[in-house]
Amino acid sequence: MSVILVFLLVVLGVAGWWLSHQRLMSKPWLEQGVPAAFPDTDVTGMPTAKIALGIFLAVVGALFALFASAYFMRMDYADWQATPLPSILWLNTAILAMASVALQIAVIASRKGHGDTVRLALVTAGLTTIAFLAGQWTAWRDLTADGYLLDGNPASSFFYLITGMHGLHIVGGIVGLARVSARIMRGSDDENTRLGIELCAMYWHFLLLVWLGVFVLLAGWANDFIAVCLQFLI
């Protein structure tokens, strides 16, 4: 329960910060000039696709929060044997952070019309993300070689479940990134293409945030982190 509470507070904080930058308090009926033609936006001026992605990410975040809660509850049983953290996960974390930074650079470059920088940033994000997945596979292989199998003990099962679920969302993101990159490589530079880059960046930033939480959980630092958070809440 504490895990879910802390996670929900973090999500609400991030969501509040994000929504505060989306012109929700604007008064379009008082604005002068010709309104911009964005057929796929709602009354707030926010693209519908961005709202839909935000809702989807909230659902995915809740799913991982439930995984974390189940992880903590299962730790109290006698058959729990902690799974060692593969050292390559440190490198994987840095690689995923690089992908997230690259996509943010792509967003900034697309707004400034720097096509070459956008293409380079998208390629960098794609390659580093694939490298992250390769690193995750290497971590699985190393654990399996050391005898930590999927059905060996509950801790190992949770490790494969949580990292595998995160990896599946990464794969889904790569599909979307490939489609946006293909449009950029064909020379497309319209509003929808720039929106696609922003959506990819949002998705990668979220997956990085989730992965940091997963990393803290698997490393065994979550109890200390939650204790610190609860001290500020009480």
The domain limits of the chain are: 2-233
Please answer whether residues 114 and 148 qualify as being in contact, where contact means their C-beta atoms are separated by less than 8 angstroms.
no
Is the model more confident about 1 or about 183? 183
**pTM greater than the 0.85 cutoff:** no
- Give how far the C-alpha of residue 194 lies from the chain's centroid of Cα atoms, to the nearest Å: 19
| Separation of alpha carbons 129 and 97, rounded Å | 9
pLDDT for the residue 233: 57
Give the residue from 153, 144, 148, 162 showing the smallest Cα distance to 77: 153
pLDDT for the residue 20: 58
pLDDT for the residue 37: 43
| Separation of alpha carbons 177 and 125, rounded Å | 9
Please answer whether residues 150 and 156 qualify as being in contact, where contact means their C-beta atoms are separated by less than 8 angstroms.
yes
pLDDT for the residue 115: 87
For tokens 């505060």, name the residue: 20
Which range has the top average pLDDT, 65-69, 91-95, 213-217?
A: 91-95
Mean of the per-residue pLDDT values of the chain: 82
What CATH homologous superfamily does 2-233 map to? Cytochrome c oxidase, subunit III, four-helix bundle (1.20.120.80)
pLDDT for the residue 17: 56
Has residue 104 got a pLDDT over 60? Answer: yes
Q: What is the pLDDT of residues 3-58, one digit of tens each?
A: 555 555 655 665 565 555 555 555 554 555 544 444 455 544 567 888 889 889 98
* Amino acid occupying residue 46: M
pLDDT for the residue 127: 97
Average pLDDT of the segment spanning 58-75: 88
| Separation of alpha carbons 38 and 23, rounded Å | 15
Has residue 142 got a pLDDT over 90? Answer: yes
Average pLDDT of the segment spanning 88-94: 96
Neighbours of 106 (CB within 10 A): 29
Confidence class for position 225, pLDDT limits 50, 70, 90: low
Q: What percent of the chain has pLDDT over 70?
A: 75
Has residue 156 got a pLDDT over 70? Answer: yes
Of 159-163, 180-184, 188-192, 212-216, where does mean pLDDT reach its minimum? 188-192
Average pLDDT of the segment spanning 73-83: 86
Please answer whether residues 196 and 183 qualify as being in contact, where contact means their C-beta atoms are separated by less than 8 angstroms.
yes
Alpha helices in 146-190 (DSSP H): 154-185
pLDDT for the residue 201: 96
Angle between helices 222-233 and 2-20 (to 10 degrees): 70
